[in-house]
Structure 1
Amino acid sequence: MSSTPIVRTDKKQAILDSALQLFVNKGFNATSTASIAKAAGVATGTLFHHFPTKKDIMSQLFLSIKQEFATNMVSNTQFSGDIEQDANTLWQKAIDWAIAQPLKQLFFLQYSMSADIDADVRKQAMNSILGFVVELINRGKQQQIIADFPNALLLENCHGQYLAAIRFFTDNPHLGDDEIHRSASFKLFWQAMKA
């Protein structure tokens, strides 16, 4: 990683961008707020003006990346009304995003299940930002296509399946466009969800 500061007119975003690189490359605990400020090209006081604690940086970074991920998944997506087909469309868009955003995906792989992200922040990301996934699950349950298990457990399972798939494609980038592997990743996910 280069030690050149990230030059941005938006200091808050520069802090988040720098934190992303440092958290992925050095880890949350090994990254100081001073190193984030230095990499962002801002004073430490500026960092604390925007984020009172390093944990606040982590939470905001997690939520902003989840929002970007969610926006990408639903933008220009034509939903057919067929639960399985719509789930597959979202799944494939999610995998595409992961392949196109390797640093952000590494962040998710490292921190999505980590105690460094508060459970309330993870819950907010899943229920608010990714609310369309909850809606799809609820419609699937109403139509008896998706298993009638508690939503919180289904959402954790969805998330775990997704993290496993992107770990596979991150470790095997040459298979990212392989139709057999992409299709199999969805089928494994779907088998765990269906009624």
Structure 2
Amino acid sequence: MDKKQQIIDESLNVFVEYGFHGSPITKLVKSAQVSNGTFFYYFKTKEDLITAIYVSTKEEIHRHIVLDINEVTSVKKSMRDLWMNWTKWGIANKQKFMFLEIFSTSPYINSLEKKEVADTFIFIKELLLKGIHDEIIIPMDVTLLSHLFYSSIRTTVMYHQVKPLSHEEMETIFTIMWKSFVDL
């Protein structure tokens, strides 16, 4: 493993355990077992490191959740595939998922352009808009719908950490979420 990746991997664990403010650069350097010079060679500031972890994690999620969704033939099937892929990623990548939770409520999110954050998952909003246009999904603010969609993923991943869920239970949770979106 190269030094940059070593810093990223170890820092992610430190941030999840101690939070951003409880993780000074000295702790990050010690955890990664690199020198101060090596740290600063790759990252000018702790904020640069946090942003790099955030961006790479979001890119990883994007690659994973759209893995088998090439074309939208059914809004429900595409939403289900996205939901399942994202939930399974969150369960399999607990530390990264927790990092994103910490990041989403931190002031560091303001260092990224709001548009950059929103554009990462524009396809979800586009899918929701298609569902609204096709009169499948309740017409309402698409940003709110995308937050509701993500909140069911978050709740499922967090619950799974306490009590593992079967595939059938996950299917049921998706069905409940989907029924809350459907325009009757």
Band the TM-score falls in, shorter-chain normalisation: 0.7 to 0.9
- Offset, 1:55: 2.0
When the two structures are superposed, what TM-score results if normalisation uses the length of structure 2? Answer: 0.85
Name the structure 1 match of 2:5.
Answer: 13
Identity of aligned residues (%): 26
- Offset, 1:80: 5.3
* 2:148 maps to 1:154: no
Q: Which residue type is aligned with residue 186 of structure 1? A: F
Name the structure 2 match of 1:163.
Answer: 154
Aligned residue runs from structure 1 range 6-155, under 5 A:
8-9=1-2, 11-77=3-69, 79=71, 81-118=73-110, 120=112, 123-127=115-119, 129-155=120-146
Count of matched residue pairs: 183
Q: Please say if residues 126 and 155 of structure 1, whose CA atoms lie closer than 8 Å, have aligned partners that are also in contact.
A: no
- Offset, 1:92: 1.0
- Structure 1's unaligned 5+ residue stretches are 1-7
When the two structures are superposed, what TM-score results if normalisation uses the length of structure 1? Answer: 0.81
Say if 1:139 and 1:68 are closer, same or farther in 2 by CA, change over 3 A.
same
Q: Matched residues in 2 for 1:113 and 1:159: separation?
A: 15
Structure 1 runs (4+) greater than 3 angstroms displaced: 76-80, 113-116, 119-123
Q: Please say if residues 59 and 121 of structure 1, whose CA atoms lie closer than 8 Å, have aligned partners that are also in contact.
A: no
- Structure 2's unaligned 5+ residue stretches are none
